[in-house]
Amino acid sequence: MPAVSAIFLVAALILAVVIGPQTRPWTWGPGMLALGFSVTAALPVFWRKGRFTADLGLTVLGMVTAAWFAWRAWISPVAELGEADLLLLAGAVGSYISIRAIEGNAPAERILLWGVALLLLANVVVVGKQVIDPSFTPVFRSRAAGFPSGFYAHYNEAANYLIASSLLVAGAALFGRQGLPTRVLWGLIAIAGLAAVYFTRSRGGILGAAVGCGVFACAALAIAQRRKARWFAPALIAIPVIGLAIGGFLLSGWEDSQELRRAGSGIEGIFDNNCRLYFLGVALSCIGLHPLAGGGSRSFSWECYRFWEKDIQGAGGARPELVHNEWLQSATDYGIIGAGLLTVLLGTLAIVALIRILFPGPSREAGAGDAWRLGGLAALAGMFVQSCFSFVFHLLPGILLLGICLGQLSRAAATPAGTSKRVGSQILISLAALACAILLLPTGWKGTRVTQILWPSYLSKVAVTSNEARVGALTEAIGLWPQPTFHQERAAIFHENASSGLSAVFHEPAERAITDYRKASQLNPYDPGLAINIANLLSQLQRDSEAEEHYIKAISLQGGMEAGFRSHFYLALHLYHKGLRLFNFEKPEIALNILETAAVHMEEAVKQTPPWVINIDGRNARISIYESLGTCREAAGDRESALQAYDFACGIPTGNRVHYTAGVLIGKTAVEAWLRRKPAEAMFYFIAARNRVATAGDELPQGVTPSQRAEYLAYLDRTLTFLKGAKIEPSKLPN
């Protein structure tokens, strides 16, 4: 059974790396299914006489930590995110269980190590090809960035995988009990894997690899000294050289990586980049909301919005769904209790592994035990360092490697420490194995079916682009595994159909999109994007009160992320169109109040949004709001405020056309002054009107033709000629 468990664990890792290296939980299905079989095959091993040994204290600590994370994920406010974290937790616990069943069984260990080594080699080959051809993707149609990433979509996650796999293989190559040719081959593969980290250009990955190699070197020297290895003395003398090599790898990697990102910036650019520090500050603010228990799975993804400040964090155009620091992510989502338990567990395992490296058990176990503990300790150190800069443990491959490392660190001596301890550990680990199998097998099968259904539309190199096919696939996927993202993606297709269709066929796809957005919002009530999409569609359907309700909800959810969701902007547009519909020259008060509110929201949008996000369409909308506001004020008899609105619109880039409208208003004031027998004042206003209309140039308000402008200018010129002929001098601006 250990060999069977090893086969399925290797299969799970391969499927996770090739198909599921992303945050979409349904793509984890094949890997989770294989892991479920691995855990099931491991279960009988723990009850085989003399086969399993574990420390009861470590097992209890691990169970308490897992139970806390499982409970908080189970009751998380967003079920989809809680389920994703539960699957990741099951992945870590499941791979740990499988490793504990495999340890000590030579064929099973050989299967596992060869599987990890060959998969690592395959990734190195793909990275090499991507160095030559950056557009190459082995499985998917595209990658997230141009740097080499192996089978992964993003270079950061690829670097994390390369670090862990390389150091695990390196441990077996140095102290494993396999033959010398095998160990030499594994050593070469490990070196190639670490070299590939350099080419991913992941700065956190390069640092993680350097730290992992440093830990590996120190632990390897301790083992060599204890075992009186012949190469210990030369290695000890070479410590400065090893240190310089690791330091050179780090500095050169950072220099080249930064140079590729921003030419000429060098290493200094890394330390000048404060964006991750801002992220950490936002995370600390989120932790302050619920310091002990946390906000639930991925709660940072919606709580961060309220703490976002444009002047400090920038515009906030992209959704910061995860903290780029896994320890702070755990504290945000699972509280100080969760982060504390995790820290104690990892620290205890590392200390126990170090003690067992320095003071091993029986000699018959020491060889394999040294190899596993060395690889597990170094790999965990490398991954942990990179996890301080990226969310590497929120993908299935990273979490499987984490479980493998923890299993290798907790490897006990071959001789049972005591029957009572062994039985207690057997019971606890068997319960954990049953829980993992119950979760992984059905969910893995469901995810596998969904992956098969959605593969042509989302992942295959030959994309299925027809909306009908995509809607059909999403509908089938929703029937198997209803998730808010599926409803949202199907709604987006309906939304696109509604936006591109004629007015006669707008209502049906719009209503279908609203229905799907509502279902997604019920499943994830904290997503401002869902609320704003519903509001925009309701606005187009002229269901004003419903639309405004959702706009207000979106504003409350988005916090300081106006640049990302633009709720104030879209509400301003909605109120603008509503005001135009309700405008009546005889009763302008209703439209006036609406347009005043529209202007307030537009200014809030401008305040929180950089110019490149507002863009020319946004500027034109802002101009139109103030132009219409001026018209309403003018209709209400408040010409002074109307002129203020026109002047404000003229001051906006591309707002030149409103000078014409302002000129016409000033011309009316001039006529009234003339009728009140104030020719000097009238002269002043006629000159001002002539200047404003001339300033507008060829840019005219909607509905005004060049001939009308020319006719009005001619009227003003005739009037001014008449007044000048009458020897009238313009007065100063009246009080």
DSSP one-letter string for 240-284 = HHHHHHHHHHHHHHHHHHHHHHSTT-TTHHHHH--HHHHHHHHHH
For residue range 706-717, list pLDDT tens digits in order: 888 889 989 988
* Distance between CA atoms of residues 73 and 54, nearest Å: 27
Average pLDDT (259-273) is 59
Query: With pLDDT > 70 as the criterion, what percentage of the chain qualifies?
Result: 92
More confident residue, 540 or 412: 540
> Is the pLDDT at 57 greater than 50, yes or no?
yes
> Is the pLDDT at 451 greater than 90, yes or no?
yes
pLDDT of residue 647: 93
For residue range 453-501, list pLDDT tens digits in order: 998 888 887 777 788 888 999 999 999 999 999 999 999 999 888 876 5
Q: Which residue has the tokens 């594994």?
A: 186
pLDDT of residue 735: 40
Average pLDDT (681-697) is 89
pLDDT of residue 276: 66
For residue range 133-152, list pLDDT tens digits in order: 888 888 887 777 678 888 98
More confident residue, 728 or 575: 575
* Distance between CA atoms of residues 221 and 213, nearest Å: 12
SS3 of 618, please? helix
More confident residue, 247 or 547: 547
> Is the pLDDT at 609 greater than 80, yes or no?
yes
For residue range 625-664, list pLDDT tens digits in order: 999 999 999 999 899 999 999 999 999 988 888 999 999 9
pLDDT of residue 52: 62
Q: Which residue has the tokens 């599921």?
A: 20
Nearest one of 167, 197, 170 to 185, comparing CA atoms: 170
Q: Which residue has the tokens 């040719």?
A: 181
Q: What is the DSSP letter of 731?
A: P
Least confident of 113-127, 159-173, 314-328: 314-328
* Distance between CA atoms of residues 650 and 404, nearest Å: 65
pLDDT of residue 64: 93
pLDDT of residue 596: 95
Mean pLDDT of the chain: 87
pLDDT of residue 145: 67
CB 664 within 8 A of CB 700: no
CB 315 within 8 A of CB 381: no
pLDDT of residue 315: 64
